Chain A
Amino acid sequence: MDLSTTYLGLKLKNPLVVSASPLARDLASIKQMEDAGASAVVLFSLFEEEIRHESVELDHYLNVGTNSFAEALDYFPEYEKYNIGPEKYLEHIQQAKKAVDIPVIASLNGSTMGGWIEYSHKIEAAGADALELNIYHIPTDAGVSGQEVEQLHLNILTEVKKHISIPVAVKLAPYFGSMAHVARQLDWAGADGLVLFNRFYQPDIDLDALEVTPNVLLSTPYDMRLPLRWIAILHGQIEADMAATSGIHSGADVVKMLLAGATVTMMCSALLQHGIGHIKEVLDGLQTWVTQQDYQSLEQLRGSMSHEHCPNPAALERANYIKALNTFQQYAP
């Protein structure tokens, strides 16, 4: 069956996209992704805060102790140039574009409005096929309302859209009072796609050191349940494309997401775990299933199990919870 599809207006040969990950730091890996069958690649994020921090940090440490003591007016040789700033990332976009034929989607995490706009511009100019806005924001201030958080997302999208013409997707966290409402707002504001969901690094506590330690865990197939639900719910309610990300490890997982209504599915953890070649297995799994089930096209398949189209929409709502609770009680002492 022809697996080709369109995401963010980009013609893709299949619905399997490699999501933002450290794998894309290496050009050879990007080439491997293409060879294994990935239809597009999202580059790792350009973090504005990191660039700013890097600049401030370098300046700080090159300044410390200077011009204080007559015998040691400085401590380091100074280079004529440092690779600080977005240049390295932009160059990476250019090189990736040269290395592969599949679309290259850049990812940006800004920390100021000026940064979002400036770097979006530069990313577009560097030749990215599309831009994913990685809005990584944890509202820790109890004085900030949910509405303000939502507005921040909308503002970023609106401003970026105003300044660039390549397609723009928004990668979201699931933590909104009304997820569907936020999705629709972003859709109306011109998002070409929504990437569901961003997985935050969740902290842990080190009992020996009594310190909070960020704990990076790879996704498991269970993690796909959350985006699955929301894609199923949003399908038909918004026009923007939806990319499913988190917990997609097999062809079956891809199928489920497509059934729920995803335009494309994105993979990262599974590739980190099993290698880039795993893409081929996933695609084979997808192809086998759709062939065995005799689907004619992805369009036919997509959303057929969405909230709107599935036989038991309640299962996507609270029933799911009740069932889980019952199961738990079964095993309770």
Chain B
Amino acid sequence: MSKRVTTIQGTEAAASVAHRLSEVISIYPITPSSDMGEVADAWSAAGRKNIWGTVPHVVEMQSEGGAAGALHGAQQAGALTTTFTASQGLLLMIPDMYKIAGELTPFVMHVSARALATHALSIFGDHSDVMTTRATGFAMLASASIQEIHDLALIAHAATLESRVPFMHFFDGFRSSHEIQKIEELDDDTLRAMIDDDLVWSFRANRMTPDKPVLRGTAQNPDVFFQSREAGNTHYQKCPGIVQKAMDRFAELTGRQYRLFDYVGAPDADRVVVIMASGAETAQETVEALNQDGEKVGVLKVRLYRPFSAEHFVAALPDTVKQIAVLDRTKEPGAAGEPLYMDVVEALATKGITDKYITGGRYGLGSKELNPGMLKGVFDELRKDRPKKHFTVGIVDDVTHTSVEWDLDYNIEKDDVTRAVFYGLGADGTVGANKNSIKIIGEETPNYAQGYFVYDSRKSGSMTVSHLRFGPRPIHSTYLVNHANFVACHQAVFLERINVLEKAVEGATFLLNTHVPAEEVWDSMPLHIQEEIIRKKIKFYAVDAYKVARETGMGQRINTVMQTCFFAISGILPRDEAIGKIKETIYKTYGKRGEEIVKRNYAAVDQAVDNMIEVTVPQSATSTVERPPAVPAEAPDFVKNVTAKMLERPADLVADHIPVSLMPLDGTYPTGTTKWEKRSIALEIPVWDPDTCIQCNKCVMVCPHAVIRSKVYDADLLENAPPTFKSTKARGREFAEGTVFTMQVSPEDCTGCGLCVQACPAKNKAEAKLKAINLSPQPPLRASERENWEFFLNQIPNPDRRELKVNTVKGAQFLEPLFEFSGACAGCGETPYVKLVSQLFGDRMLVANATGCSSIYGGNLPTTPWTTNADGRGPTWSNSLFEDNAEFGMGMRLTLDKHTEYARELLTQLRDEVGAELADAILTSNQKDEAEIFNQRDRVAALKEKLDGLDGPAVRQLRTVADALVKKSVWIMGGDGWAYDIGYGGLDHVLASGRNVNVLVMDTEVYSNTGGQMSKATPLGAVAKFAAGGKPMIKKDLARMVMVYGNVYVAQVAMGANDAQTLRALLEAESYDGPSLIIAYSHCIAHGINMQQGLEQQKMAVDTGYWPLFRFNPELAAKGKNPLQLDSRAPKAAFEDYAYKETRYNMLVKAKPEVAARLLQQAEANIKLRWSIYQHLAEMSYNGDSAQ
């Protein structure tokens, strides 16, 4: 059979087999498995067939629980099925997994193993998810490399049919799922040769059909349940043999032999590690290196973990072994040991083997590195007289001292392997270019190629680090490049903050993109970079890639230029050949997007090398530019000792070494830490023009990053103002004479999104293109505006909240935001709402945040944006899960209600002791406005003082719950994926409960955080993942569904269309003593828009009638009035004029014009229908009788 090599990432390697061997694929997006479902959907959309000649159906469900249910049903009806999932998603599938296994159903699921959320969420890889399914009855097969993922996927699909045991095929999230490697691709003939069609037909014959009815899913009694449970045992007994048989058959077909347990190393090894998945690759590489140095070590790779065959395990282990370390990539607190370790102990005990020392260790949780140095550390530990039991490796545990020591400098990589590290910005295309380079080298040269990419936790200004290896032998290095012989820095600004050459070996090559003229390049380097270059004798090349990109129409995309320079100096391919291959790849990648793009890329390739220079390196470093500290000296200790280390790059050289003792025990972190990280990512920042400004505060309102603030204050405070600090007379009768107004921008926190400019309604009288706020280049303003910002923040007081007209946009925007400088996308459409809520209610607010974009920009370390006011009050925030957020928030409300009730009971009981006047004042306060809440706080403070002088059980109880006497506001926040899909059941229940919670749905109409998958909020006609042909169904009208309850406050808002209505809705929702739901239009990067135009798109959405604004206030119904008020007018603009400005709609016009036209027509019709329904509802008569 023909051998075809391809260079793909792990997810594709799995999906390629799964798609070809399935009829029905049911999925739900979750990182890092989403890619598998997406690529399967794309193949089906493109008509790619399975090996039986039909295109598999791919269906996206509302949750993984739903996906599993659908699979179970599809299997019962006789379809070959598959799914792809990870982490929490896998947990949601567990109930169905028990059923599927209990019914002995052939089925394979492919899991990119990922950490489970415990003290924190982690999107990264470990085995804590797959290990929770050990008891389900699924067979578990682990792959260690991309080739193995491809191969073992097939072996799993073959073995499940014969054994009838369902299989979970898993591999490490990110490390394997997102690593790109050159592999040998399995063709359809190989798949056919491995799959016995008789078994397929016999599976199908077992299906539910009324033509031959059966009954499954009975309820059984104590008489037979147990026996029935044991009835399938033989299938599990035979399963390992069947898997080995499939592996042997596979070897005959491909020449690649796998075993249930594969041993690599010295045949007479004295020490062995047992490990599964990607760590086994590095273990193999380390073992080979150690044995070359004369040691006798080995690695036993576990492939079939369940059913665990003790017999095969023992047979694979050399008799000579004296010490065994079993490495688990999971943690089971309180267990006798981690699961693989326990299985090994049991296997050896069962076989009567007692002459070996066995220890277990944990490694790699949440994608923590496992490199050769660490494995050597384990082997060294095993050599000790009493090796540690239950050790850890890869961290510094200075509390319980579990960690073994390792040598970071241990390097076993061969010189003939190119090891390259590229530092880039997300926006500059570095990763994309590197992916293409790997493809070129993998597929056009005999070299093996590997790529792995490390991303930022921020969505704006994010840094990417690409780790590439190319070499003559298969690459088993499943760890980051630590000894690079090529380093490229695609953004010169990184040099100031990062030692990009820390990983460079002596004699390495360094390529820098810089706009500095050739003769000035050396002098522009910071001192630490100059020193590294000289010390390591680095060959230094520079190119002004931005110039080339600009001149060739590539804008900020410097990828092609840098890629060409890389090939030109790395010498992997002859230069002309490389350029030819780059152009071919450009054509393949971008050709379908039009000739112009291809031409521009070609031009960039052609001009790249001519613009590159080799920099002459002098004998000594002369720079005076030193590396600034990661955070300022005035930062709190935790920020200086911990956060600052997390901010350092590369993370694996700094943050990975933060010891256990510095970590909070329970995942509790201080708020307000983004302010210590000055990212300075904006190329341009807004500059205020006081003469043009009408002081409307709209720019403050819309700023997604809370970097524009305004204050009104006494002019006397300006005495010590910095020289460029601006102010002007405050407008408005409410401000006394001598009061001035300032609008100030934080230059180093701004992302330069430009929404403020868009929102500004004022125009310069002399030059209409200018507004009262305009973008200007940041660098020349940075220092002066930083000084102004500091003065503004620290020397000018915030106004008294009680005196502000918070029901006006202007008044509300003088409130201090308690959500600032998040890492959301520049120009994010969600964060202005979040910030506004924090301004209005932040000092008394609890937030339950659904997993998604808002939990990432809200709670992803190293720094977080929720912050406190001068009194130390501010939002307290937590994220439970994706699916349970409404319930999570309701739980907070239940506690608050209970504690308030209890505190009132206690206070009533202690009335005389604390003083009747104070007690009554507290008990009767309605806390309807800011002033009354402030007063209540004062009263409660007075109460606490009184309590300090008293004692008794009731007093002691009241002390701990007295704060509940001050009104608290519960906010349940999340996106549409949560509210419309996975969390809808819970949301519905919570809203129906009547409890006083406020739900803010930031509706981006897709799963934004996981990359734009369709949700039920996705509008008809829009393209999303899993709706590649344009969504054929209308958007779920969540607001109308919820209004049916009658007692839920419901509002639909769009800040860009009507900021005052947004503000009013939030105030009404919060003041309503019952459940509230606010659905907020949130423009999003996933809409494919110019984010600066986001507010304009919101306005258009309203003007076209697509997004009507309204408020449904049950309090009005109680007064006999119609509770529904429409706040926007009848559609006045064409839907097309709104929709076709967005890529999500217009890409369909480009790809499938007829479909687009049809869907557009349907969308327009639906808009009209919906508007007339709302109009009708708003005009209905609510007399006193019908109101309830």
Binding site for B on A (CB under 8 A): 51-52, 54-56, 58-85, 88, 210-211
Tell me which of A68, A69, A71, A83 contacts B1150 (CB under 8 A): A83
Contact status of A59 and B593, CB under 8 A, knowing A69-B462, A71-B31, A71-B123 = yes
**Chain B: minimal CB distance from A266 (Å):** 28
For the complex of A and B, 7 pairs with smallest distance between CB atoms: A68-B426, A55-B594, A72-B1011, A67-B431, A75-B1012, A55-B596, A61-B1143
Q: Are B1009 and A84 in contact (CB under 8 A)?
A: no
- Is there a chain A Cβ closer than 8 Å to B825's Cβ? yes
CB-defined A-B contacts under 8 Å, sample of 5? A58-B593, A64-B427, A69-B456, A75-B1088, A78-B42
B1006 neighbours in A (Cβ, 8 Å): 75
- Is there a chain A Cβ closer than 8 Å to B150's Cβ? no
The distance in angstroms between the C-alpha atoms of A80 and B592, with both chains bound, is 7
**Chain A: minimal CB distance from B1157 (Å):** 12
What 9 new A-B contacts, CB under 8 Å, besides A71-B123, A75-B1085, A80-B592?
Answer: A63-B429, A64-B427, A67-B432, A69-B456, A71-B856, A76-B1143, A77-B38, A77-B1026, A78-B42
Q: Are B595 and A85 in contact (CB under 8 A)?
A: yes
Secondary structure of the B side of the interface?
Answer: mixed
Q: Are B594 and A51 in contact (CB under 8 A)?
A: yes
The distance in angstroms between the C-alpha atoms of A79 and B1143, with both chains bound, is 13
The distance in angstroms between the C-alpha atoms of A96 and B1008, with both chains bound, is 43
B32 neighbours in A (Cβ, 8 Å): 70-71
Contact status of A69 and B459, CB under 8 A, knowing A83-B1150, A210-B763 = yes
**Chain A: minimal CB distance from B859 (Å):** 14
**Chain B: minimal CB distance from A79 (Å):** 4
Contact status of A67 and B426, CB under 8 A, knowing A75-B1012, A77-B1028 = yes
Q: Are A84 and B1011 in contact (CB under 8 A)?
A: no
Which residues from 80 to 122 on chain B have a C-beta closer than 8 Å to any C-beta of chain A? none
Q: Are A67 and B464 in contact (CB under 8 A)?
A: yes
The distance in angstroms between the C-alpha atoms of A70 and B427, with both chains bound, is 14
Q: Are B429 and A79 in contact (CB under 8 A)?
A: no
Contact status of A52 and B1150, CB under 8 A, knowing A68-B455, A71-B1010, A72-B1012 = no
Q: Are B596 and A62 in contact (CB under 8 A)?
A: no
- Is there a chain A Cβ closer than 8 Å to B45's Cβ? yes
- Is there a chain A Cβ closer than 8 Å to B453's Cβ? yes
Interface string of B425-441 (1 = CB under 8 A from A): 11101111001000000
**Chain B: minimal CB distance from A50 (Å):** 11
Interface string of B406-439 (1 = CB under 8 A from A): 0000000000000000000111011110010000
Residue of A64, A71, A84, A210 with most partner-chain B CB within 10 A: A71
Q: Are A77 and B41 in contact (CB under 8 A)?
A: yes
Q: Are A58 and B1150 in contact (CB under 8 A)?
A: yes
Residue of A63, A77, A79, A210 with most partner-chain B CB within 10 A: A77
- Is there a chain A Cβ closer than 8 Å to B1072's Cβ? no
The distance in angstroms between the C-alpha atoms of A62 and B1087, with both chains bound, is 10
Which residues from 664 to 678 on chain B have a C-beta closer than 8 Å to any C-beta of chain A? none
Q: Are A84 and B1150 in contact (CB under 8 A)?
A: yes
- Is there a chain A Cβ closer than 8 Å to B219's Cβ? no
Contact status of A82 and B426, CB under 8 A, knowing A77-B41, A77-B1028 = no
B1011 neighbours in A (Cβ, 8 Å): 71-75
The distance in angstroms between the C-alpha atoms of A84 and B595, with both chains bound, is 9
The distance in angstroms between the C-alpha atoms of A85 and B425, with both chains bound, is 31
Contact status of A55 and B426, CB under 8 A, knowing A67-B431, A71-B1009, A76-B1012 = no
Q: Are A77 and B464 in contact (CB under 8 A)?
A: no
Residue of B431, B590, B592, B768 with most partner-chain A CB within 10 A: B592
The distance in angstroms between the C-alpha atoms of A54 and B1147, with both chains bound, is 10
The distance in angstroms between the C-alpha atoms of A70 and B1010, with both chains bound, is 9
Which residues from 1133 to 1154 on chain B have a C-beta closer than 8 Å to any C-beta of chain A? 1143-1144, 1147, 1150-1151, 1153
**Chain B: minimal CB distance from A59 (Å):** 5
- Nearest A-chain residue to B1025, judged by Cβ: A77
Tell me which of B425, B432, B594, B1153 contacts A58 (CB under 8 A): B594
Q: Are B1150 and A65 in contact (CB under 8 A)?
A: no
A79 neighbours in B (Cβ, 8 Å): 592, 1028, 1147, 1150-1151
A64 neighbours in B (Cβ, 8 Å): 427, 1085, 1088
- Is there a chain A Cβ closer than 8 Å to B141's Cβ? no
Contact status of A58 and B1009, CB under 8 A, knowing A75-B1086, A77-B38, A85-B594 = no
- Is there a chain A Cβ closer than 8 Å to B1023's Cβ? yes
B1010 neighbours in A (Cβ, 8 Å): 71-72
Q: Are A56 and B1085 in contact (CB under 8 A)?
A: no
B462 neighbours in A (Cβ, 8 Å): 68-69
The distance in angstroms between the C-alpha atoms of A75 and B1014, with both chains bound, is 11
Which residues from 452 to 472 on chain B have a C-beta closer than 8 Å to any C-beta of chain A? 453, 455-456, 458-459, 462, 464
- Is there a chain A Cβ closer than 8 Å to B1089's Cβ? yes
The distance in angstroms between the C-alpha atoms of A62 and B174, with both chains bound, is 23
Residue of B35, B46, B590, B1011 with most partner-chain A CB within 10 A: B1011
A74 neighbours in B (Cβ, 8 Å): 1011-1012
- Is there a chain A Cβ closer than 8 Å to B1131's Cβ? no
Tell me which of A54, A60, A68 contacts B459 (CB under 8 A): A68
A71 neighbours in B (Cβ, 8 Å): 31-32, 34, 123, 856, 1009-1011
Q: Are A58 and B1143 in contact (CB under 8 A)?
A: yes
**Chain A: minimal CB distance from B655 (Å):** 16
- Nearest B-chain residue to A54, judged by Cβ: B594
**Chain B: minimal CB distance from A296 (Å):** 50
The distance in angstroms between the C-alpha atoms of A251 and B1011, with both chains bound, is 60
- Is there a chain A Cβ closer than 8 Å to B557's Cβ? yes
Which residues from 823 to 839 on chain B have a C-beta closer than 8 Å to any C-beta of chain A? 825
**Chain A: minimal CB distance from B1005 (Å):** 12
**Chain A: minimal CB distance from B1014 (Å):** 10
**Chain B: minimal CB distance from A48 (Å):** 9
**Chain A: minimal CB distance from B98 (Å):** 29
Contact status of A61 and B596, CB under 8 A, knowing A67-B453, A71-B1010, A83-B1153 = no
**Chain A: minimal CB distance from B248 (Å):** 37
B455 neighbours in A (Cβ, 8 Å): 67-70
Contact status of A65 and B426, CB under 8 A, knowing A75-B1086, A82-B1151 = yes
Q: Are A68 and B464 in contact (CB under 8 A)?
A: yes
Q: Are A62 and B1012 in contact (CB under 8 A)?
A: no
- Nearest A-chain residue to B1085, judged by Cβ: A65
B1089 neighbours in A (Cβ, 8 Å): 61
A65 neighbours in B (Cβ, 8 Å): 426, 459, 825, 1085-1086
**Chain A: minimal CB distance from B1047 (Å):** 37
- Is there a chain A Cβ closer than 8 Å to B597's Cβ? yes
Interface string of B476-510 (1 = CB under 8 A from A): 00000000000000000000000000000000000
The distance in angstroms between the C-alpha atoms of A79 and B1027, with both chains bound, is 12
**Chain B: minimal CB distance from A78 (Å):** 7
The distance in angstroms between the C-alpha atoms of A71 and B857, with both chains bound, is 13
- Is there a chain A Cβ closer than 8 Å to B553's Cβ? yes
Contact status of A59 and B174, CB under 8 A, knowing A76-B1144, A83-B1150 = no
The distance in angstroms between the C-alpha atoms of A83 and B1028, with both chains bound, is 16
The distance in angstroms between the C-alpha atoms of A77 and B435, with both chains bound, is 18
The distance in angstroms between the C-alpha atoms of A71 and B553, with both chains bound, is 29
Contact status of A76 and B593, CB under 8 A, knowing A67-B464, A71-B123 = no
- Nearest B-chain residue to A209, judged by Cβ: B763
**Chain A: minimal CB distance from B51 (Å):** 21
The distance in angstroms between the C-alpha atoms of A52 and B553, with both chains bound, is 11
A75 neighbours in B (Cβ, 8 Å): 1006, 1008, 1011-1012, 1085-1086, 1088
B596 neighbours in A (Cβ, 8 Å): 51-52, 55-56
**Chain B: minimal CB distance from A221 (Å):** 30
Contact status of A68 and B456, CB under 8 A, knowing A75-B1085, A80-B592 = yes
- Nearest B-chain residue to A60, judged by Cβ: B555
The distance in angstroms between the C-alpha atoms of A65 and B458, with both chains bound, is 11
The distance in angstroms between the C-alpha atoms of A66 and B35, with both chains bound, is 14
Q: Are B593 and A82 in contact (CB under 8 A)?
A: yes
- Nearest A-chain residue to B29, judged by Cβ: A71
Q: Are A59 and B594 in contact (CB under 8 A)?
A: yes
